[in-house]
Amino acid sequence: MANKINTLQSNISKIDLRQGACVAVERIRGGRLRKIRDRIALRDEYICQICGRVTAHGEVDHKTPLYMGGQESDVNRWWLCSTCHQAKSDREERERE
């Protein structure tokens, strides 16, 4: 148990230099990320949850960003087209400055 606490404490103190936010969890990558992406795309029927466009080339996004306290769970994930995802990311970046 103590090992898990130490691991979590070290993760909390890490800084994601690309975004400038403290991160409490490691980024999900590889096969695990593909499974999440497929699950969310199917759940949302490949429909962008902002503009309503159907796209197979969309992205999974956190509704509430992790740096703002959003959870790393499917409840906080949604399918967005690349255009809406980029616009949302840009808007969040401006709000952080």
Token readout for 65 is 């960003």
For the stretch 40-86, pLDDT in tens is 999 999 999 999 999 999 999 999 998 888 999 999 999 999 999 99
Interval 20-36 mean pLDDT: 76
Among the listed residues 85, 77, 76, the one whose alpha carbon sits nearest the alpha carbon of residue 53? 85
- Rounded CA-CA distance 37/58 in Å is 9
List domains and CATH numbers for the chain.
28-96 (3.40.1800.10)
Can you give the pTM of this predicted structure?
0.71
- Residue 14 banded pLDDT, cuts 50, 70, 90: very low
Angle (CA) 68-69-72 rounded to 5° is 120
pLDDT at 20: 47
- Rounded CA-CA distance 27/11 in Å is 11
